[in-house]
Each structure stands twice: as structure tokens, then as C-alpha cells.
């Protein structure tokens, strides 16, 4: 069965610093990978997704993620954090034509002034 692990339930960075949120997956078949963001008291919004092709994926709000098959990872990065990036971030995986998503447990990002 597939699974998703997000390392670090809480990450704090200073405004302007690099954001790195970690996601690893386990799967016996090629995955489709997603990052979602959840602002306080809101639903989830898609940041970016990897399906096929280029392994470096660019998303909204300056975020990007790189699919590394050898490391079974899909870490989310942003070069310079803004206060508005404070939110919870979820990594998720699906496979083939499956409709279901499997979510990681989430990482709460705090941006310090």
C-alpha cells in the first residue's frame, strides 16, 4: 500500500529565508504527487502537482518541488519566505487512474518576522 511521510510537523523560518518542507512516499508503481496548502479556517488549495515529464515542478506563490525517484521524495521549496506563507502544507499521492488521494500528516509552517 502507498504511504506518504512528511518530516517535521512544525517548521519555523525567518521572513526572507529558504523554505524547505519534506515529503517522502512509498510506492511500488510510479506516483502522482501533490502539494496542497491550507490557510487558517479554510479548505485545501492545490499548490503544484507532478504527473509525468519534467521532475522540477513550479507552482503558485513562488513554490516549487522536485520529484526524485531514487530518493522517493517530493520536497517543497521556496527561496524566500513571506509572512503570508504561514499555513499548513500537505503532501499527497495517487497512482494511475485511481481517484483517491493519500495524504501526509501535514507540516505547519510559521514565518517569523
The footprint of other proteins (CB under 8 A) covers: 4, 9, 32, 34, 36, 41-46, 49, 51-52, 90, 94, 97-101, 103-106
Q: 97, 8 in Cβ contact below 8 A? A: no
With cell 517548521, the residue in question is 11
**Minimum distance, C-beta of residue 68 to other proteins, in the bound complex (Å):** 19
Other Cβ atoms less than 10 A from the Cβ of 34: the count is 25
**Minimum distance, C-beta of residue 64 to other proteins, in the bound complex (Å):** 18
DSSP count for the chain of H helices, then E strands: 0, 11
Among the listed residues 95, 94, 91, 113, the one whose alpha carbon sits nearest the alpha carbon of residue 104: 91
The two beta strands, 73-78 and 19-26, are antiparallel
* Nearest residue (CB) to other proteins, 17 versus 108: 108
**Minimum distance, C-beta of residue 90 to other proteins, in the bound complex (Å):** 6
* Nearest residue (CB) to other proteins, 98 versus 112: 98
* Nearest residue (CB) to other proteins, 22 versus 49: 49
* Nearest residue (CB) to other proteins, 72 versus 102: 102
Amino acid at each position: 500500500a502507498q504511504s506518504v511521510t512528511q518530516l517535521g510537523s512544525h517548521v519555523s523560518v525567518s521572513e526572507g529565508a529558504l523554505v524547505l518542507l519534506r515529503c517522502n512516499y512509498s510506492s511500488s508503481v510510479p506516483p502522482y504527487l501533490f502539494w496542497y496548502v491550507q490557510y487558517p479556517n479554510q479548505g485545501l488549495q492545490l499548490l503544484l502537482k507532478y504527473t509525468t515529464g519534467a521532475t522540477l515542478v513550479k507552482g503558485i506563490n513562488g513554490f516549487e518541488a522536485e520529484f526524485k525517484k531514487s530518493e522517493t521524495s517530493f520536497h517543497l521549496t521556496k527561496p524566500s519566505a513571506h509572512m503570508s506563507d504561514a499555513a499548513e502544507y500537505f503532501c499527497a499521492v495517487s497512482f494511475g487512474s485511481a481517484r483517491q488521494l493519500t495524504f501526509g500528516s501535514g507540516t505547519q509552517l510559521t514565518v517569523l518576522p
